[in-house]
Amino acid sequence: MTLDAKIPQGPLAEKWSKHKFDLKLVNPANKRKYDIIIVGTGLAGASAAATLGELGYNVKAFCFQDSPRRAHSIAAQGGINAAKNYQNDGDSVFRLFYDTIKGGDYRAREANVHRLAEVSVNIIDQCVAQGVPFAREYGGLLDNRSFGGSQVSRTFYARGQTGQQLLLGAYSALNRQIHAGKVKMYTRHEMLDVVTIDGHAKGIVTRNMLTGAIDTHAGHAVLLCTGGYSNVFYLSTNAIGSNVTAAWRAHKRGAFFGNPCYTQIHPTCIPVTGDHQSKLTLMSESLRNDGRVWAPKTAEIAEQLRKGTLKADQVKEDDRDYFLERKYPAFGNLVPRDVASRNAKEMVEEGKGVGGSGFAVFLDFADAIKRLGEETVKAKYGNLFDMYYQITNENPYKQPMRIYPAVHYTMGGLWVDYNLSTTVPGLYALGECNFSDHGANRLGASALMQGLSDGYFVIPYTLGDYLAKIGPKKVDTNHPAFEKTKQDVIAHVNKLLSLKGTKTTNEYHRELGHIMWEYCGMARTEEGLKKAKGLIQALKADFWKNAIVTGENEEVNASLERAGRVADFIELGELMIDDALMRKESCGGHFRVESQTPDGEALRDDENFAFVAAWEFKGENQPEELHKEQLTFEAVHLSQRNYA
Amino acid sequence: MNLTLKVWRQKNAQTAGKFVSYKAENISPDMSFLEMLDVVNESLTHKGDEPINFDHDCREGICGMCSLYINGHPHGPKRGITTCQLHMRTFHDGETITIEPWRAEAFPIVKDLAVDRSAFDRIQQAGGYVSVNTGGVPDGNAIPIPKVIADEAFNSATCIGCGACVAACKNASAMLFVSAKITQLGLLPQGQPERYRRVQSMVAQMDEEGFGSCTNTGACEAECPKEIKLTNIARMNNDYFSAKLFREEEVHEQGH
Amino acid sequence: MSEFKQTLNSSLGKKLIMALTGLFLCTFLIVHVGGNLLLFNNDNGFSFNVYANFLTHFPPIEVIAYLLYLSILVHALYGLILTVKNRKARPVRYAVAAKSDASWSSKNMGLLGSIMFLFIVIHMGDFWFRYHNDKTMGFKEYRTDLATGETKVSDYTPANAEFSHSVSTENNVEVVRVKDLHARVAYSFSNIIYVIFYVIAMGAVAFHLLHGFQSAFRTLGWVHRKYTPVVYFIGTWLFAVIIPLLFAAMPVYYYYLSTQGAH
């Protein structure tokens, strides 16, 4: 099978307009004859459900949480980019496009990224109209802040809770459609499989998490908006419930998985304190606007700091190494996330790490407080400072924060074409669930932009084209394919429930996380990855022998839910390692130690690796098959990223 | 730290529940409250017992999924945080901690400590939105909004829908939750066209769900993890009476 | 009309009724305490008895009086209805009592209201009911020399049972004959149990209004950054301190007089 990204012809800036005209339309009276299934209600899912409902389609939306408002988009803090150029500082659609392509280390599809930059401006308008209370200036106009990887201020924000406000906006639009009867909402339902008929996605199988009922749902198309898979690392900034199960089961039904090894490690997280830790807490990248990152100049001073014999604010200015400002004078503390993270890791490896564990560097606000006053700093970052204080019991107004990188976002995901269709016709992937727009590294404040772009402004057009082509013939769950898939799911659930071993699924998850972080984290080597592959295969075999799953299916059973998700994460982990092994170059968040510049920066190999890796599932315990979508660049010139 | 937990266990809404005592041993003061429960659950699982069921997700205080009525306080004794942000250093060694689910007629128990808060969703569905379709909206800067108004609207919009206000109120009233959305949209120019219709629909749905009435005790405000102010309720009242008693336009059940 | 019914039946509508009747009763308290201050006039009850007579015989006041009785009943009834409804909203109570930061009075409005209701029943039975129906209640005749302003008082026995009061002037002497409620007041307040009950009831009034007055404004939606503090100030000092103290001072003062044998 050859991959066809279906990128429209013509000049880059006109592709989307032209494509929108070329797409087939479904006439208004026919729209109500189509049923659309949407899984996940984060920014992408809620916005898609609301918009498709408004257009007249019958939508069924599913989420595993108790309310669509809980989706993890809610935790995004910093902001959302848009090429509005309200600040008159030289921003434009092309600059946003260019920054995103460059930030992604030239591993994203040009056409998709340009479309994203184009619709970014509409997203802000839409959200304002919904009543999202963005930050404003005294004149009443929208305020912007700057963010990593860009030299213009184009980030719109709502204090440190932008994701929450945007999601609640989308949630309110979704609620309006639920009230109007156009969207039927299924909460506490977990999607466990995709039903395909003649190669087309026609429905899903779900488990009702309250009663255990395994149900089938039919539709003309299935949209997966189920987020990313950072939790494969066990410790990440994702919510505990965030999982890969929906995407992974879809993968096993024929959807190719794109660039699974591209994971983003976020530089400003609160360091780990111990084994009990269940998740990591991110603090918005916006902190790097005013905070200065430093480590002690020598390992001796670091040692004193770790022991607590010296306090951070007592370290003399000359003994501090503001390593980002030193190495990247142009971007300073605002270098992209992968660069910042890797530099922090280097400091720790040189013995200059601080905090009890030594796995941390400082993020210092003393200068900002001196310059702006404590009140201004509080107004900008108050909630983040409070959060830091709650968790660490240290006052960041007095002592610099300790930060360390943590897994935060996965650029990889289900492979989709320009229309957001996976390799299974009728099965779409939106938002973080797909691989499409961020290449090998995502810029800050771009995830919210992509989720809403896909849901509000892309899928309503591209889905119509597919629906118009297949026609409105009713899809019925009486088709034998539904029963068959349902039986597969029941068998899988029963297999999990039969596990009465000695280790909890949580313990397996933690072990998987250790393997992934150690060998497939911020720096990856061929040797390490090969070792990790063996470890994961052994872990998988052990899981299916020794895991403990308590309770029964016909009740609320968190143990069962967890087991299914961990089992899928283990399989995904192996694919990530295969992908990381295959990609012998370094790019963005994927850093292969074998491929670096003399200064230790990621060194791409455009000749051999300027492609998207799309993996095809070939059966249980079979090696997956690699397909390549060659990336061609017309508008930008590939160069070594340089933020100095 | 070693602690004794008195935890409410209840298989589902149909069966009766009871308190069961558990020992939580070797708890680090740096753990969050939910991580402490994770530790207890791991040991229960090892013994083949059913782990304690509780709602949780983001574990950073924003999704609103976690709940728990801890020693007489929703989200525990500290102000302005959720249970997932509560750390064990707040408690002392040897303490007995009583953990109950939210108690309200409108929040039936799902299992153990988890309750069904879908009543909140239904209230939002009744009118907690601005009726604009995707596309065709004016430029984001077309309508200037005074910073103080935008900030005030944000303060109301920060509600995470956790239900602590209901849990804290002696009347199990949901008015802080409902009024926060009404106030947010009522303050912003975008919310004006539906302002008086919205307040009526949302209050009607709130009444239908079986929440109690507000007696302005301020317990909700004191326990709200996002510190949403009681003033929101007064604003809602004002809008409601204004809508009901002084507006002339026909009030009818809206289609959407 | 059905829309009004629906409004008043909503949870907010019921609160509106509580607030409006409550505030009306608050204004009444001001009038009541003002009038009753006449009890401190050391004039053998002359001004107080005249005032009592005026209140019961001036038609507009009579109308307001009946509105007042209605308000008391409606306020109590709706308080009861809301309490029952609020209890139903939490059928299973918490094992650990709530420790949230809410004032004691705000959490005990029902209890305070019940004490007050009991008080009102006794209070009205003792004074209002007797004043209107007790045929044995005596009359007083006040003869004021208009030249000197000197007032002489004596018991008066009306010629017929229908007599309520009269004012006449004979030879520069104004003669006022009215029912002697003042004697009843003095009699009642010479009983220590009665006095203690009154003082407790005024304590209940104080705490009830400490929360109730400002709460009514919140219910009506009248909050304002600038004026809400004024409401709090009035609610606290006037309604929760000054008025209950003045009311409580009356039985205490009369009890004190009775022990001094001044009558």
Question: Measured between CB atoms, which of A127, A237, A274 is closest to B28?
Answer: A274
Residues of chain A positioned with their CB less than 8 A from the CB of B154: 133, 135, 158-159, 165
pLDDT band at A273 (very low <50, low <70, confident <90, very high): confident
Q: Which domains does chain A have, with CATH numbers?
A: 32-79+162-262+411-470 (3.50.50.60), 267-408 (3.90.700.10), 485-604 (1.20.58.100)
Provide the edge-to-edge strand list for the sheet that holds B3-9: B18-24, B3-9, B96-100, B69-70, B73-74
Residue A163: C-alpha distances to residues A105, A132, A191 (Å): 25, 11, 24
Q: Which residue would you say has higher pLDDT here, B103 or C44?
A: B103
Structure token digits, residue B152 = 């005030």
| Cα A551 to Cα B164: distance, rounded to the nearest angstrom | 30
* Residue C104 CB coordination number (10 Å): 11
Is the CB of residue C224 less than 8 Å away from at least one CB of chain B? no
Is the CB of residue C226 less than 8 Å away from at least one CB of chain B? no
* Residue B13 CB coordination number (10 Å): 13
Q: Work out the minimum CA distance from B200 to partner chain A, whole angstroms.
A: 15
Using the predicted structure, report yes or no on whether residue A441 has a pLDDT greater than 70: yes
Using the predicted structure, report yes or no on whether residue C227 has a pLDDT greater than 80: yes
- Note whether C67 and C194 are same-domain residues: yes
pLDDT band at C99 (very low <50, low <70, confident <90, very high): confident
- Note whether C132 and C68 are same-domain residues: yes
Is the CB of residue C259 less than 8 Å away from at least one CB of chain B? no
pLDDT number for residue A283: 86
- Note whether B18 and B90 are same-domain residues: yes
Phi, psi angle pair for B30, to nearest 5°: -80, -10
- The rounded percent of chain C whose pLDDT value lies above 70 is 98
- Note whether B24 and B128 are same-domain residues: no
- Residues 6+ positions from A523 with CB-CB distance below 8 Å: A342, A345, A591, A592, A593
Is the CB of residue B133 less than 8 Å away from at least one CB of chain A? yes
**Nearest in space to B26 (alpha carbons), one of B9, B42, B10, B14:** B42
Structure token digits, residue A552 = 């029964």
Mean pLDDT of A60-72: 98
Query: Is the Cβ pair C106, B217 closer than 8 Å?
Result: yes
Q: What is the CATH number of the domain that holds C221?
A: 1.20.1300.10
pLDDT number for residue B255: 41
Query: Is the Cβ pair B171, C3 closer than 8 Å?
Result: no
Residues of chain A positioned with their CB less than 8 A from the CB of B39: 276
Query: Is the Cβ pair B237, C220 closer than 8 Å?
Result: yes
Using the predicted structure, report yes or no on whether residue A522 has a pLDDT greater than 80: yes
pLDDT band at B252 (very low <50, low <70, confident <90, very high): low
Q: What is the CATH number of the domain that holds B121?
A: 1.10.1060.10
A and C adjacent (3 or more CB pairs under 8 angstroms): no
- Note whether B142 and B26 are same-domain residues: no
DSSP C98-117: P--S--HHHHTHHHHHHHHH
Is the CB of residue B192 less than 8 Å away from at least one CB of chain A? no
Residues of chain C positioned with their CB less than 8 A from the CB of B201: none
- Note whether B105 and B131 are same-domain residues: no
Q: Could you give the number of structural domains in chain B?
A: 2
- Note whether C65 and C155 are same-domain residues: no
The stretches of chain B forming alpha helices (DSSP H) are: 33-46, 118-127, 147-157, 164-168, 175-187, 195-208, 219-223, 231-241
- Single-letter residue type at C1: M
- Note whether C110 and C38 are same-domain residues: yes
| Cα A489 to Cα A191: distance, rounded to the nearest angstrom | 10
Compute the mean pLDDT over every residue in chain A, rounded to the nearest whole number. Answer: 95
Q: Which domain holds residue B206?
A: 117-246
- ipTM surpasses cut 0.95: yes
- Note whether C144 and C132 are same-domain residues: no
Residue B228 lies inside a defined structural domain of this protein: yes
* Residue A379 CB coordination number (10 Å): 13
| Cα B3 to Cα A538: distance, rounded to the nearest angstrom | 37
- Residues 6+ positions from A536 with CB-CB distance below 8 Å: A512, A515, A570, A573, A574, A577
pLDDT number for residue C261: 67
Q: What chains are in contact with B, requiring at least 3 Cβ pairs below 8 Å?
A: A, C
Query: Does the active-site annotation cover A154?
Result: no
- Note whether B72 and B126 are same-domain residues: no
Is the CB of residue B1 less than 8 Å away from at least one CB of chain A? no
Cβ atoms of A490 and A213 closer than 8 Å: no
Structure token digits, residue A590 = 């994927």
Residue C101 lies inside a defined structural domain of this protein: no
Query: Is the Cβ pair B188, A130 closer than 8 Å?
Result: no
Mean pLDDT of A187-211: 98
- Among A118, A127, A138, A164, the strongest candidate for a mutation testing the B interface, having the largest count of B CBs within 10 A, is A164
**Nearest in space to C144 (alpha carbons), one of C168, C166, C164, C165:** C168
Query: Is the Cβ pair B12, A72 closer than 8 Å?
Result: no
* Residue A531 CB coordination number (10 Å): 15
- Residues 6+ positions from B44 with CB-CB distance below 8 Å: B22, B50, B51, B52
- Note whether B100 and B219 are same-domain residues: no
Phi-psi region of B102 (alpha: psi -120 to 50; beta: other; left: phi over 0): beta
- A180-214 burial, b for 16+ CB within 10 Å, e for fewer? eebbbbbbbbbbbbbbbbeebbbbbbbbbbbebeb
Structure token digits, residue A11 = 């000049």
Chain B with chain C: Cβ pairs closer than 8 A: 140
- The rounded percent of chain A whose pLDDT value lies above 90 is 88
- Among A47, A125, A408, A509, the strongest candidate for a mutation testing the B interface, having the largest count of B CBs within 10 A, is A125
pLDDT band at C165 (very low <50, low <70, confident <90, very high): confident
- Note whether C205 and C249 are same-domain residues: yes
Residue C41 lies inside a defined structural domain of this protein: yes
Query: Is the Cβ pair B69, C96 closer than 8 Å?
Result: yes
Residues of chain A positioned with their CB less than 8 A from the CB of B150: 133-136
pLDDT number for residue C263: 46
Using the predicted structure, report yes or no on whether residue B254 has a pLDDT greater than 50: no
* Residue A642 CB coordination number (10 Å): 11
- Residues 6+ positions from A88 with CB-CB distance below 8 Å: none
Residues of chain C positioned with their CB less than 8 A from the CB of B244: 3, 7, 13
Q: Which domain holds residue C154?
A: 138-179
- Note whether C145 and C63 are same-domain residues: no
Query: Is the Cβ pair A131, B130 closer than 8 Å?
Result: yes
DSSP class of A453: I
Q: Please name the residue of chain B whose CA is at the shortest distance from the CA of residue C228.
A: B231
Residues of chain C positioned with their CB less than 8 A from the CB of B74: 100
Q: Please name the residue of chain B whose CA is at the shortest distance from the CA of residue A551.
A: B50
pLDDT number for residue A390: 85
Question: Measured between CB atoms, which of A67, A140, A278 is closest to B59?
Answer: A278
**Nearest in space to C120 (alpha carbons), one of C7, C201, C55, C234:** C201
- Note whether C77 and C207 are same-domain residues: yes
Structure token digits, residue B89 = 């250093």
Q: Which of A191-205, A374-388, B126-140, C9-23 bottoms out in mean pLDDT, i.e. has the lowest? A: A374-388
Q: Work out the minimum CA distance from A389 to partner chain B, whole angstroms.
A: 10
Q: Please name the residue of chain B whose CA is at the shortest distance from the CA of residue C9.
A: B207
* Tens-place pLDDT, residues A379-425: 888 878 988 998 888 999 999 999 999 999 999 999 999 999 999 99
- Note whether B122 and B211 are same-domain residues: yes
Is the CB of residue A268 less than 8 Å away from at least one CB of chain B? no
Structure token digits, residue B115 = 């309750």
Residue B72 lies inside a defined structural domain of this protein: yes
Cβ atoms of A205 and A410 closer than 8 Å: no
- Single-letter residue type at C22: G
Q: Could you give the number of structural domains in chain C?
A: 2
Query: Is the Cβ pair B222, C101 closer than 8 Å?
Result: yes
- Note whether B89 and B145 are same-domain residues: no
DSSP class of C97: P
Q: Work out the minimum CA distance from C225 to partner chain B, whole angstroms.
A: 10
Query: Is the Cβ pair B216, C16 closer than 8 Å?
Result: no
Domain boundary among C148, C179, C210: C179
Residues of chain B positioned with their CB less than 8 A from the CB of A126: 132, 134-135, 137
Cβ atoms of A544 and A500 closer than 8 Å: no
Q: Work out the minimum CA distance from A495 to partner chain B, whole angstroms.
A: 17
- Note whether C173 and C157 are same-domain residues: yes
- Note whether C121 and C170 are same-domain residues: no
| Cα A487 to Cα A422: distance, rounded to the nearest angstrom | 24
Chain A with chain B: Cβ pairs closer than 8 A: 232
* Tens-place pLDDT, residues B42-98: 999 999 999 999 999 999 999 999 999 999 999 999 999 999 999 999 999 999 999
- Note whether C244 and C219 are same-domain residues: yes
| Cα C164 to Cα C161: distance, rounded to the nearest angstrom | 8
Using the predicted structure, report yes or no on whether residue A558 has a pLDDT greater than 90: yes
Question: Measured between CB atoms, which of A134, A180, A548 is closest to B255?
Answer: A180
Q: Work out the minimum CA distance from B159 to partner chain A, whole angstroms.
A: 9
Mean pLDDT of B203-209: 96
Q: What is the CATH number of the domain that holds B73?
A: 3.10.20.30
| Cα A451 to Cα A436: distance, rounded to the nearest angstrom | 11
Phi, psi angle pair for A476, to nearest 5°: -120, 140
Based on the number of CB atoms within 10 Å of its own CB, is A440 exposed (0-12), middle (13-18) or buried (19 or more)?
A: buried
Cβ atoms of A613 and A584 closer than 8 Å: no
* Tens-place pLDDT, residues C70-89: 999 999 999 999 999 999 99
| Cα A567 to Cα A563: distance, rounded to the nearest angstrom | 6
* Tens-place pLDDT, residues A214-223: 999 999 999 9
Structure token digits, residue B224 = 């709200």
B and A adjacent (3 or more CB pairs under 8 angstroms): yes
* Tens-place pLDDT, residues A457-482: 999 999 999 999 999 999 999 999 99
**Nearest in space to C180 (alpha carbons), one of C32, C45, C62, C37:** C45
Using the predicted structure, report yes or no on whether residue C98 has a pLDDT greater than 50: yes
| Cα B40 to Cα C141: distance, rounded to the nearest angstrom | 85
| Cα C243 to Cα C249: distance, rounded to the nearest angstrom | 10
DSSP A412-432: -EE---TTSB-SSTTEEE-GG
> Of A154, A306, A337, A442, which one is the catalytic site residue?
A337
